[in-house]
Each structure stands twice: as structure tokens, then as C-alpha cells.
Structure 1
């Protein structure tokens, strides 16, 4: 018995949508849709729900196969030009029989048309007199089954691509290079055989280039151009790989251009394609979120695609990204509402799990207020969170700093018949440790885990920690790490240091769960600041040897500081061991660290050890710079080893490395000083000439002062006079240090008159006088009985406000030896009352004896 069927509302609606679709222009004048389309057009409509129509979606190729007499193997994803009028056809194999319409239901009719529209399963035929470029044939059988002769290279490429498709992750770069070489050889010599590549083979080749090529972007673009020139159409998966390749090298604009290529080639994008592009823009440090917003609108406006949960999730995370300095709460709430509208249609269990995972990300990004809003919004929709969701809410509350609100959430959780677990205790402990306001209302019961409000945050966390142990939960490394961080910020009392040491031992007890490197770094810094260098070294070795944590620049910097502190305390074994340990892990000490070790070696007069250290650093590729050379030369000079200092100087000059002129001048001055101190006048003279002629080093005031001091100390007055002449020729004015050298030299040679002439000749305006030299001159004048000139120098120093305790003492000693006790008493009284200077211990008894005498000798 034949049962008549009638079109319902869904049937006519979907048929109308197909006819008016922007991608298809149906020509009803053609009769190639046979009797089925005619029968459908004559059916009488009646009401039928849309979901009922969707129930028959599996009947697409069973009930309504419409034969296309032309291009029966046309690709389902290929669209013709929208300007060509085409008949309504569906591509099917020729052997498929047409099922009798009388046995179909209205539900099947509507479902068939609905799925044809939704999945774009419409093929096309070229209208009359319309020219179309022949498309690539879709081979359903390989060239082997069709017995088509191909070259050995093509057969090998085919076999390689088929075998690699199942194990792309295990494929090496060498395998990829071999396959790419085969392909390039075929394209160059026999490109017609590449027509036998099936879509899966092409996609495998794209994926190989994407995953295992260094220049993935260039090769993928090159492959795309070659396949286009061969008229081989790319699939959606191929275009997605091209997009991801552009994103891999941070070229979002190029990735978006792939979408235009798809439109040009007539490939309809899907929601997944748009999601890939949206993800690319969202991950651009949050600066392209507006473009991602436009893509969401574009996929709906131009293609009629409906965003899914992945779309809204990506947009939501884009607006909440840590790169966003200010959160757009309006857009966040909009996308979260859209996400929840879709999630509510899924299973309850899946929705809660998805939202909990989202809350975890938002809390990790420290968007605590947004996390609380999401939590409350889900609760208002009637959904109930499990314990993991409540723990996320507690972490968000603790992150906001409002621990009283955290207690309220804890109470709501217990009212929901949920018992706290280890994560709950962790949230409460870490929340108290990082906030100044602790919980209120404290017991260790299930109803309230919060300590009293009179306690500090640290004390509250300790009480919650005890409640956690009483409940039978084991603390993890995160809890111990938080306590360690808190005690590092606490007062450095002996008791707290002992507690910190016990907490540190507990923190590193779990080898499977190591602490963060930042905690080790702050611990090293903490111990260095309090002077516990051994403890700092222990923390360093625990991080490197116990947990094998890769170091960053911050930790390396702390280790360098530790080495310098060891060197300052002359603990050479510890400092040297850390240096070799740094070299072992591939880190290079800087010049500051090296110089500190050289100074420590020089303290023990072990310059040979310093030279060995420099040679070891050179073997590890660390070049000796000017700072290290200067430190070595300086300490050789201090140890009176001028020969070794000269060797280092010549080594540096022979290396040809650039050196600033003032640095070379400092080295030359030290060498000159060393030669003159050793009394080697000939060597000093030769080196001075070499310095001027060969090395082209311009002498400065320090150079001439060094020469003057050396010549005068050796009694070489003629050389000193010649040096003064050279200073005058070069336009170098003597400094007060030069005046001091001359005064001391004349006094040392018992030439007080010459020293006094130097004083009268020196410039008295602007500069601070040489107090030490003038003090020595005052004593020399008193010894020669020239009290008048001594008092004149005294008055000069008082006028310059350059009176020092040594000047006072020199005047009192001079007056006392001359018998002028009244002047001694006057100076002594003024020194004690006005200028508040103190006498040296050796002079005090003698001066007090002069003060006590009544006799006064007229000077």
C-alpha cells in the first residue's frame, strides 16, 4: 500500500533556503533534477518541528540521490562562480538507485534538504554555454589498481607518504628531506604523475613540512604554489596547515590571507578554520583581539557559520589574557553568556567540567574578580559545582584579599554537603600567607577552618596547617614553599631562622615535586644578605644537583654574588669550587667575579693562583678583558713584582685588542711607579720613552707626579727640574699633589727655604691647600726658629678653613718647644671647646705638662 506524503513547514523552508542561497543560483528551466525535485515541489506542506526534521539526516544518500549527468565526480567542497545559473543536483555514483518516494516520510524529506544545506553537500553543473576550467579528478583507486604505469620515483613517493601518515610524530627531519627531494624531482622531470596524488597524500606532505622543516613557511608556500599550478585543489585540512604554519612564525596577516585564497579557490571555510584563525590573533599578546572579534562576525555574516564553544572560549581567554592590562568586563560577560548558552545544551557533567577548567585558567592568570563572577553566574543557572569548582572559587576569593568573603564561600561549600580536601586547605593557607587580613572565627571543625581575627596571617596559616594535618591530609611542596616565602619576609629572629630551616628541609623532601626556581633564587639572596654564605651555597647545590633545575639569569646572578662574597671573606676554596661549578653548567663568570677572585689571591700573595685561574677561564672561552688585566697589573705592582706586571702589559699590547687611552695611561703610570720605587731609573726612563714613542700614550698629570716623586726621592733634582719643564711645555699645570711632592722633597733634603719658596709660589686661590705638606713645613720652620713664617702658614690654613688636628698639634708642639706656654694653653683650650679636636695619645702627656706650666718664655 502506498502511503502519500506531504511536505511540512521544514521541507518548504529548507527548499526555499536552497533556492535563495547566496552560493547557489538554481536554474529551474533545466530538467536534470528528474522527477524527485518535481515531486517535492508538488507536495503539500503541513507543520512539523525542526528537530523532527533533523532526525532523518542519515537519509541523505539513501532517499534522495539526484543524478547529475555531467561531472558526476565533482568535489563536494568546490563551488562554482556565483554568477552562473545552475540546476539543483546532488552528486552520487551512477550505480545508486532512486528510492521510491512513496516510502519516504515528510521527516526524511525535510531532513535531507536540511543536511544538504547545512553540510554544503551540493555539487554543480555548468550551465549552457558556460565555460569552466576542468578540475582535478578524484581518484577512488590508486594507480596500482588501475594498472597505470608510473615512474619508480612516483611509486616510492606514494609508498613513503602512505607509511608516514600513520607515524608523523616519529618521522625525522632526514625522512622529510628525502620525501621532499622525491617530490621536487617529480615536479621537475615528470610533473604529470603528481596528478595521482590523493588528498591524503598531499595533506601528509604539508604536515611533514610543517612539523619537521626549519624553513616550514617557505616550503609550505612553495608547495602551495606548485600544486595550484598543477590544478590540484587543496582541502580544508591543507589550508588549516598553511594557516598554522604562518602562525608558527608569528605572521597573523599572512594566515588571514589564506582565508582569501580559500575563497578564490572556491573552498568553503568551516568553523574550525575560523577558530584556527581566531586563535592566531588571540595569541598575539592580546593586541589583535579586535581583529578576532571581526572574524567572529564575518563567519556568521558571510558564511552563515555558527560559532561553537571553542570560538567563544578562545575569545573569552583572549579578553582575559595576562597581556590585557585592563579587562573589558562587558565583552567577557557577553562571551561567557554565549558559552553557557551552548554548554547548557550538553550534558550536565561536561558543562561543570568545562567551566571548572576555565576557572582554573582564569585563577592562574589572577583574574580573581572575573572568576568569582563566572562562578556565581553558573550557580544562578541552577548548576552545582563539585569540590574542584569550589576550590577554584576559594582561591579566587583569597586572591582578592578579602578573607572574610573566603570564609563565607567556605560556609556555602559545607552547606552544599562538600567536605574540604587538600586543595581546600591549600587555598586557605596560601590565601592567609599572602594577605594581611586573616580569617575570622576559628575552629578546626568542618564548619569553620578559619583562625581567629586577632591572629596575623602567618599565625592563621599555621593554625589551618594544623587542621589540615588533623584531617589526615599531607601537605605538598606548594604549601611548604608558601611558608618558606612567608618566613623570608618575616622578622629575622633566631627562632624564625630555625623554623625556616625546618620548612626548607620539608620543601625539598619530595623529589618528584620540586619547588620553583624563583624560591631557590630568593633563598640564596636571603642567606647572602644575612651573611649565611654556607646556607646560600647549600640552597644552590640543592637546586642544581638534587633537582637538576635549569638555571635562569636571575639564579646565575645570585651565584655570582655568592662567589664575590666568598672572595671578600677570603674563603678561596668555596669561591673556587663555585667558579668551576659554573663552568661545568655552561655559565660564564663576568669580569667583576674574576677580579674579586684575583684580589683574594693577591691577599694571600698568591698571584700564581690568580694567573692559573685566568688561564682556566681562557680555556673555557672567556676572554680576559682590560678590567682583569688592570687588576692583575695593579696587584703585581702592589707586591713589587714589576717584571710580571710588565709581562702582562706587553701581552695585552701584543694581542692588538682595543684599549681606551686612559686605561693604558693608568697601567703605564703603575709601571713607572714600580720601577722608580725599586730604584731602577734606567728601566723607568726606557719605559717612559717607549710609552711616548711606540705605544703613543699621552702622559698626564699623574704621570709627571709619579716621575717627580720618584726622582726627588732618589735625590735626582736635575731630572725633577727637567720633568717640571716637560710639564710646562705640554701645558700641564701642577696640582696641589705636585706642590706636596716638592715641599716634602725640599724638607727631606733639609732645604726649608726651598720648601717655603714652593709655598709662596703655589696658587692660593680656589684649590684646597696640601694640608699634610704644610703641616710638615710648619714643624720644619719651628725647628729652624722661623716662628713668623710658621704663624703665617697657620693663618693661611685658618683662612682656607683647612685646619686639621695635625695642624693644631704641630702648632702646639712648636710653641711648647719654644717655651710659649700661653699660646699652647690658648690653642689647647680652643681645640677642646671650639673645634672639638682631640690630641693623639702620645702627645697628650707632653701638651698637658706645657699647659700646666706658669712660666712663659717670650718667643
Structure 2
């Protein structure tokens, strides 16, 4: 007797009661029974919200058979929203384009949803502009939600002037700003601590009949802190306490972090103690700030003690806190505690990030555990994190000193194949390491690809080493490579190369190729090398050798005449 609209009503009822298991079961039954419509899909995905896995959301969307339901804008918006809430912005854009090709006509909510994803992604502002331009091309108009999201995108991309421009444009278009708009613009002003504009904006807000709420006042506090107005920050913090807006640690942490970074460690420490004395609800973020402050100030014993105090007090960890504690233990040289933190990360299934690896590599280098530092950097590279050039250079140098030449070359390649720019000196540094380790084939690769960035003495050192003991089959290639970069090859190098060929008669073709190439590039053998060749001419064919040396002689004569 129940119809689809009745089922949808029950879905909404389960959602209000937070009965997520029942909600999912009912939706599955509706799918299997064919009692479902566009509203069912939209309702389900909207209610499941953050708990809905993005992969599951896409599977549900792809499983819709009814084309009209599949292109229903409410369903599409719900799927896109789910992806963005789970940090899958790039995937949401790809799916959006697929939806467009399948016949979707996006509305303002679609663009607003996608714009919200630009807040936390790299180059979010340029991506947001592309979406706004597309929205306008489709004949849609920007509403107050779009403007608010754009201002938030500007704030997250350090563009306060653009945020201010959109705020004013919104008012000119007849939209009245709400507390979210004011808060977002204040956040943009906090980038450079522009407290004059922030104060004017809050006054404008009050004149519009809006009362600043907790979010607005906390954002204003951030502006004061970044502007270095610590006295004013303390006054506003006291006001937040009076209003009941400082029942958790975040407002205190804003001021404390600003004081610590300004070098006022005692004042920051005093505020940290105040959080404890007043039993302010804390997630440990205040500990993280103070541990970092102690590390920066060289107060390593205090940093270490506070890290241990956190371990004894809290059983919740996130990557930020683990990195902070790891840094404290590394700076204090507490190897056992460092290893304990790493085991804790493994146990909590928390993946290390760029900062984790950077802390560990610097620590292992300091402790002269260079091979461990190398393995850590290798793991870092395999996980998609690119190491800094300075760190690579330092590790390369130390690996070279302990004769871990191939590991040093691996570090060089990690940096070389990353998207980072490389200092010219690194090519020559790795070249010397490879020559010392007799990894001459690898050294040849470095010279061939970067000869113009390597000094002539270094190229000569490489050439001597290679002609003495490098792969004989590559000698001619090396000669051509160093000649091609403008290096003038001297007679001593030619004699070394030719001597290698004479010592291995089976390589006579390579000698003949070299003798043929030389006059074409203006090179001729000197008398001692000529005599050496003639002495062994029977090995290579007297007639052929005579012809080649004659050709070289003619080139030499012409050169002298000229």
C-alpha cells in the first residue's frame, strides 16, 4: 500500500532521528523493490551527508537507470557535495563534466557547491574564477551564497583586496551581507593583520543591525594577533570570556601562538597556564603551540617535558600533534621517544606527511645515521612527497663521505625528477661523488645532461677517470658529449682513449670511428700518439690506418697554413 513518496517521508524521518542504519537498510530495500524516484536518491545522499563514502555516492549515481532521475539537478548536487565534503574536489569536477555531457543543466546550487571545494585546494582562486565565468555564460546570476563562497575562497588564497571587491560588488547588486560574509572578509583581512579595515568592517556590521557572534569576534581576534596588537587581543579575549565565547581553547591559542611567534615566550607560557588553571576545554592544540615555541626558543628540556605531559594526559593524537612531539624529541636527541612516536603513528594508522619526513631526515643526519636518513628520504619520495633541495644536498654530501655513492646518486635523482628547480652546483657535487665511487657510467649521464652547468676542471677530472677505467664502449660517446658542450679536448685525453683501444684490439672499430671523427671536428693526433698508432697498425690494418693518419696530417697542414 505504501507509495514512493511515503518511503521518502520515512527516509526523512529516520534522518531526523539519526537512525543511519535503518535509513541505509530502507534505501537498499527501495532500490531492490524498484520503489524509488529522483527525490529518494537526493534525500538519501543529503541525509547521509558526511558519513557517505564518496565511492559509494558515485556508485549510487552510476546505478540510476532512469535518465531523467540521473540528470536530476538535486541528485547531482548531492553527489558533488558528498565528494567535496570528503576532499575529492578534482573528482567532483570530472564528474560534473561527465554529468554535463549526459544532459545535466546545472543551477546556482551546483556552482555554489563546486565553489565551496575551491576553498581548500591549491590554486583555488583561479579555479573559482573559471566556475564563475561558466555560471555567467550559462545565464545564471550570482546570489548571496555564491558571493559568500567567493569571499571565503579569496580569504583562503591570501587575496584580501579581491575579497573586499566581491563584498562591495555584492552590496551593489542589492544583496545584504550576513554574518558569514562579514566573517569571511574579516578572515581575509587577517592575512596581513589589517586591523584598521577590520575595525571599520565590524562597525559597518553593527550599523547594519547585525550583532557580532562568536565566529566574527574570534576572527577579529585573529586579525589583532596577526597585526601584533597583543594588548588589544587580550582585551578582546576577556570580552569573549565574559560573553561565554571562550569555553574552549581556540581563542586562547590564537593569542598564545601570536605571542610565541613574536618571541614573547613568557607571556605565551603564562596564557598556557591560564588555560590549565581555568580548566578550559582542550584538545591538546595549546600543548602543540607551546612545544613548538620551546623548540624554536631552544628550550629543549621544557619542550620534551611538555610532550611527555601531553602523552600522560591525552589519548587522542592527530598528525599535527604527533609531528610537534616528534620534533621536540628529535631536537632533544631522545631516540627512544622518537621511535616510540613512530610506533604510535603506525598503531594509529596515521600516515606521515612532508613535515614528518623532514623532521626525521634532519634528525638522522644530526645523529650521523646517514643510511637511515637515506631510507627515510626514499620512503618520503615513494609516498609522493618531494624533499627540499638543501636537505638533499646535505644528505648527498654525507653519503659521499661514508662512501655510499650509489645512495647519494639516488638522492640526486629524487630531486632531479621532481618538479623542483635544482641549484647548478648540485650537478658538479654529485659528479665528484660518483667519480670517487667509480660509478662512471652514472657520472657520464650527469655530464651528458648537464655539461653546460659543470666547470671545465670537473669535466676534465671526469674524462680522465672515464678514459682510464670507464666502459670502453662509451668512450667515443663521452668524447662527443664533452666536445658538444664546448670543451676543447686535449691531446692527453685522446692518447688515453687511443691507448685503451690499442690494449683491446677487438675494439678496433671504435678506434677507427674515433680517428674518422677527429678531423671533422678539427682534431688531429700529436706525434707521440701517431707513433703509438703506427707501431700497432698491424692490429687494425696498416692501409686503413695510414689513410686516416694521412687525412689527419692534411687537416693539420691546412690549419697551420691558415
The partner residue of 2:338 within 504, 507, 521 is 504
Give CA deviations for 1:712-765 in whole Å, capped at 9, x if unaligned.
78999xx999989965642599xxxxxxxxxxxxxxxxxxxxxxxxxxxxxxxx
Cα 1:355–1:568 shift into 2, 3 Å: same
CA contact (8 A) 2:118 2:153 kept: no
The partner residue of 1:698 within 495, 502, 522 is 522
Q: Which residue in 2 is equivalent to 1:379?
A: 238
Does residue 599 of the first structure (1) align with residue 435 of the second (2)? yes
The partner residue of 1:276 within 133, 149, 153 is 149
Q: Which residue in 2 is equivalent to 1:73?
A: none
Q: Which residue in 1 is equivalent to 2:468?
A: 638
Q: Which residue in 2 is equivalent to 1:95?
A: none
CA distance in structure 2 between the aligned counterparts of 1:708 and 1:333, rounded to whole angstroms: 87
Matches within 5 A, 1:517-556: 517-518=354-355, 520-521=357-358, 524-525=361-362, 528=365, 533=368, 535-541=369-375, 550-554=383-387
CA RMSD of aligned residues (A): 6.2
Q: Which residue in 2 is equivalent to 1:330?
A: 196
CA distance in structure 1 between the aligned counterparts of 2:556 and 2:408, rounded to whole angstroms: 50
CA distance in structure 1 between the aligned counterparts of 2:222 and 2:284, rounded to whole angstroms: 19
Q: Which residue in 2 is equivalent to 1:24?
A: none
Matches within 5 A, 1:116-515: 163=41, 166-167=44-45, 169-170=54-55, 201-205=72-76, 236-238=108-110, 240=112, 250=126, 252-253=128-129, 255-256=131-132, 270-283=143-156, 285-287=157-159, 289-303=160-174, 305-321=175-191, 326-336=192-202, 354=215, 358=219, 367=226, 369=228, 373-374=232-233, 376-380=235-239, 382-384=242-244, 385-388=246-249, 389-406=251-268, 409=271, 424-435=286-297, 457-458=298-299, 461=302, 465=306, 468=309, 477-484=322-329, 486=331, 499-502=333-336, 504-511=338-345, 512=348
SS at match of 1:377: helix
CA distance in structure 1 between the aligned counterparts of 2:394 and 2:364, rounded to whole angstroms: 11
Give CA deviations for 1:562-601 in whole Å, capped at 9, x if unaligned.
45644554346xx469949989xx9899977985675355
More RCO (CA 8 Å, sep 6+): 2
Give CA deviations for 1:319-344 in whole Å, capped at 9, x if unaligned.
223xxxx4322122334566799999
Residue segments in structure 1 that go unaligned for 5+ positions in a row: 1-155, 184-196, 228-233, 436-456, 488-498, 734-859
TM-score, normalized by length of structure 1? 0.42
CA distance in structure 2 between the aligned counterparts of 1:420 and 1:313, rounded to whole angstroms: 24
Give CA deviations for 1:124-156 in whole Å, capped at 9, x if unaligned.
xxxxxxxxxxxxxxxxxxxxxxxxxxxxxxxx9
State the number of aligned residues: 472
SS at match of 1:401: coil
Q: Which residue in 2 is equivalent to 1:37?
A: none
CA drift of 1:379 comes to 2.3
CA distance in structure 1 between the aligned counterparts of 2:493 and 2:433, rounded to whole angstroms: 21
Cα 1:201–1:370 shift into 2, 3 Å: farther
CA drift of 1:690 comes to 0.7
CA drift of 1:688 comes to 5.6
Matches within 5 A, 1:779-798: none
CA contact (8 A) 1:244 1:255 kept: no
The partner residue of 2:496 within 646, 654, 673 is 673
Give CA deviations for 1:493-543 in whole Å, capped at 9, x if unaligned.
xxxxxx454553454342236775345435535655x6x65x132244457
CA contact (8 A) 2:151 2:163 kept: yes
Give CA deviations for 1:609-657 in whole Å, capped at 9, x if unaligned.
x76x899x9xxxx998587999987545214x8xx52x2246789xxx9
CA distance in structure 2 between the aligned counterparts of 1:561 and 1:378, rounded to whole angstroms: 45
CA distance in structure 1 between the aligned counterparts of 2:71 and 2:184, rounded to whole angstroms: 29
CA drift of 1:383 comes to 2.1
CA distance in structure 2 between the aligned counterparts of 1:417 and 1:172, rounded to whole angstroms: 42
CA drift of 1:413 comes to 5.5
CA distance in structure 2 between the aligned counterparts of 1:577 and 1:678, rounded to whole angstroms: 32
SS at match of 2:126: coil
